[in-house]
Structure formats: C-alpha cells, structure tokens
Amino acid sequence: MTDIQQAKRSLGRELRACEGFVGVGIGEDGIRLYAESETAPVVKMLRERWGATYEGFTISVVLSEGFKAQQRRSGAPAGQIDPPPEVVRYANALVWKDPCFDVFHQKNEEQYPFWVGPLVKNLRTLHERHELLLPDLRAFGNRTVALFSDYGGEHKGSRYYTYSFLVTGLDLAVSFQDKMADIRQQYGLDETEIAYKRFRDGRIRAALPDYLKALNNLLPGLLITVVVDKGIKSLFGIETKDDRYAVREQLKAAGFGSRKPAVMEKALRITHMAAFLAGLLTHDGQKIFWMTDNDAISEGERGASETLSLFARALELYTRKGVSFELVGGGTTFAKRHTDTLDLLSAADIVCGALSDYLTKRENVPESDIKVKEGSDRVLQWMPLSGVGLSKLVLVIRPDRGGIRIGSLRMQTDVRQERVEVPIHL
C-alpha cells in the first residue's frame, strides 16, 4: 500500500463518525474528502484540525450529496413501501434514463462484427421493457469510467466461454472501497484476493455475503457476462486456415502482435466487447481505464501493451458521435497488490467462474440435481438480486440456423431478505 493510500485510510478513520462524512478517495490533486455539503461538520473538523493538508498530502473537498443514502438503506425495516427521499434521489441519479444505443456511426456497418447489431437490439429491447437499467456514470461528477474483466470456460469440460465485465466509475467506488477495508479487516483477509479459485478458503467464504452485499448497495455500475457457446468457432468470420493467417498478418502489420489462432480470437472478442461497453457507457470528456486479468492475451509487458492498443483501436468503432475521451489507459493486475482495484476485478472473476460451472452442469443434469462448489451457490443466488446502483446482466450467444442468436439468461433466487423497493422514474 502506498503512502497516500495509508493516509487516505487514516483520514477516513478519523472522520467517518463525523456528521456529513461521505467517504475519502484519491484524485490527481491528492486526497479527496467527499462531504454532503460545504457547511457539514466534517468539513469544519477537517479544516480546524488539519487545514488543507494531511500527512503531507493536499486535501480537496468534493460535494457528493446522496452517497451516504445507500449506506443508510440497509437498515430500513422490511416491508417499507416508501424509502427515504435521499435514497430515491440517489438511486435515480445513478440511472441513465435515456441511453443512446447508436454505436453504428461508421458509414459501412460491415466494419462491425456481425454480432454487434443483435447485441444492440437485445439491449435496447431490455431497456424498453424496463428490464435493464444502465448506469449514468456521469453521476456526482465522476470523471473516470473503469472496466474490470475476467474470463472463463477454457477447460475442455466446459461447453461455454464466459466473459465478465464490471463497468463502474472510479469516483463512485469510494464508499465500496471504504467498506471493503472494513470487511478485509473483519475477516482477516489482508491482501488475499477474493477469487473463484480460492473459494476453498474459509475466510473468503465467510466474507462473501458481506462482499456481495457491498457490491450491490455501494457500487454503481453494470456487471455483465457474455456467454458464448463453443459451437461458434469465431465471432469475426475467421473460419478457415487462410482466414486465420490473413487476420494474424493484418494485426501483426498494424502493431498488435503475432498470436496463435485461439489467442487471437480471444483477444479480438475481449477487446471488442470491452470497447463496446466503454463506448456505450462513457461520456464526453471522461477518462477510460481498463484492467484485464492476467491472461494469455496480455502475457508480459509487450503483450499487455499490444492488447491495450487493440482495445483503443476497437474503441474508435464504438465511440458515439460528438464524444471524445480525455485519456484511454489500462493494464493487467498490478504486481504489488492493490486491494482497491483487486476487489473490483474480483466481481468479474467470481461471476465468470460461477456461471461457467453452472451452465456446463445444467447441460448434463436436471436443474434440481445441479451441485456447484461451495461459494458459487451464494454468487448464483446473488445474481438476480437488484442493488441500489449495480445492474447485472447475462447474455448468451448461441448458434442458430447458420447464424447466431443472442438472449438474456433469466436467473431466479430463493434467498429471502429484507428489501426496500426504490422507485426509478424513467
């Protein structure tokens, strides 16, 4: 943990009990205190005790009325019909009421992969039916849209490839990250990654319910998984050996590296999916940050750089008219563990792993006989539960009469918990 991260945590502990406190974060200008108003007692306490610096770092105050609302929500009584007004305002501020799905700004639509049109149609239909609420990642002045992605289904026993993406705002993740610091301390996780492959770890299984609850109620964004049937050999029409050779040479000549056919197809799928989501959910003047799991598509510094360049090139296809980005960057997981970002990447990891396991078993045994590993059951039961700001979606791409068919996977849960219904005014 860097010095500024330690200072941020320390300041949060000093101020969190003070009225008007929303959270603390790290910005380009130093440490940020998120407060409900300029006159809040927490701002007065900050200035009286430390002035404009804390442990050598500049402190700026950012007004974020509404951030605290979602923290108070969890204590609402069961059956409450009318949630507190601040919760309603907060939740509505996080929803993009009139999203623009027009990604086809190129004159020749053949420049786009053949699955993009059906994907857009599916998302638009879900939105019109009010079955999908896309996040407004401009809310509360957020400046950086961040994507965290992980992938599954590589083993031979799986019938599907899974690609999971969490899209959120870095400035909107403050409350979630502060809560996760408490959760990590409570369950003795230290810097241990919350990962599907670590579900045997009793500490992680014990922390999982609180982690999932924090994601649902403290992290605005979209968690989407694209499931692709392995009967589809290519999502880019790369079917023959000559096709694969030609595309590999084109990518190599453009500076995107020379990859084996399977890795090349995977890199194209992931970068185009990530670019589509970034282009759809990022607004003019914002920054984009993409973190991908360590994977064959990003081996070594050179491989990571080539994949990021491929993402940036694909992003040009999906950037809406009149929109430009201040900065596009990214990378793989940091060599030195950084739990603030690791806990965001974990959301994609555990969903990807749990869905891959469940969908494969569903093909082989009746639904009632499916047994998933301990921990996966909690993730699968959590998936259909709506949160204050986090929307979840699973899309399945299957072969269909020489083409493809895209549909959403409807998941159900038998979890019984206290709920508060928050009206969204569309």
The model's pLDDT over 81-135, given as tens digits with 9 standing for 90+, comes to 466 777 778 888 899 988 988 877 765 667 899 999 999 999 999 998 888 999 9
Q: Residue 68: what pLDDT?
A: 38
Between 157 and 57, where is the model more confident? 57
For the chain, residues classed under CATH 3.30.420.10 are 109-408
User: Distance (Å, rounded) from C-alpha 122 to C-alpha 128?
Assistant: 10
* Residues 326-383 pLDDT 10s: 999 987 765 556 888 999 999 999 999 999 888 888 877 877 778 888 899 999 999 9
Q: Residue 425: what pLDDT?
A: 61
* Residues 183-196 pLDDT 10s: 999 999 999 999 99
pLDDT at 56 over 50: yes
Residue 293 contacts residue 165 (beta carbons within 8 Å): no
Nearest to 257, CA basis, from 316, 297, 317: 297
pLDDT tier for residue 418 given thresholds of 50, 70 and 90: low
Can you tell me the mean pLDDT for 139-154? 93
Q: Residue 111: what pLDDT?
A: 82
Q: Residue 74: what pLDDT?
A: 36
For the chain, residues classed under CATH 3.30.70 are 3-65
And the tokens for 211? 């982690």
Q: Residue 75: what pLDDT?
A: 40
Q: Report domain 109-408's class.
A: alpha beta
* Cα–chain center distance at 289: 11
How does the average pLDDT of the chain come out, rounded?
Answer: 85
Domain 3-65 CATH (choose: 3.40.50, 3.30.2320, 3.30.9, 3.30.70): 3.30.70
Q: Residue 303: what pLDDT?
A: 85
* Residues 312-330 pLDDT 10s: 999 999 998 889 999 999 8
Percent of the chain with pLDDT over 90: 46
User: Distance (Å, rounded) from C-alpha 60 to C-alpha 76?
Assistant: 32
Between 422 and 217, where is the model more confident? 217
Q: Residue 80: what pLDDT?
A: 42
**Beta-carbon contacts of residue 415 (< 8 Å; ≥ 6 apart):** 381, 382, 385
Q: Residue 423: what pLDDT?
A: 66
pLDDT tier for residue 411 given thresholds of 50, 70 and 90: confident
Q: Residue 355: what pLDDT?
A: 93
pLDDT tier for residue 35 given thresholds of 50, 70 and 90: confident
**Beta-carbon contacts of residue 282 (< 8 Å; ≥ 6 apart):** 137, 145, 288, 323, 325
pLDDT at 280 over 60: yes
Nearest to 160, CA basis, from 391, 395, 332: 395
Q: Residue 2: what pLDDT?
A: 53
Residue 372 contacts residue 357 (beta carbons within 8 Å): yes
**Beta-carbon contacts of residue 122 (< 8 Å; ≥ 6 apart):** 395, 406, 407, 408
Lowest-pLDDT range of 174-188, 271-285, 349-363: 349-363
pLDDT tier for residue 69 given thresholds of 50, 70 and 90: very low
User: Distance (Å, rounded) from C-alpha 218 to C-alpha 16?
Assistant: 16
Strand pairing report for 160-169 and 144-152: antiparallel
Percent of the chain with pLDDT over 70: 89
Q: Residue 420: what pLDDT?
A: 64
pTM of the model: 0.81
Between 2 and 323, where is the model more confident? 323
Q: Residue 223: what pLDDT?
A: 97
Q: Residue 82: what pLDDT?
A: 61
pLDDT tier for residue 70 given thresholds of 50, 70 and 90: very low
Q: Residue 180: what pLDDT?
A: 95
Q: In the sheet where 57-63 sits, what is the strand order?
A: 21-27, 30-35, 57-63, 53-54
User: Distance (Å, rounded) from C-alpha 119 to C-alpha 49?
Assistant: 54
Q: Residue 333: what pLDDT?
A: 65
User: Distance (Å, rounded) from C-alpha 259 to C-alpha 303?
Assistant: 10
Q: Residue 379: what pLDDT?
A: 95
pLDDT at 65 over 50: no
* Residues 392-407 pLDDT 10s: 999 999 998 878 899 9
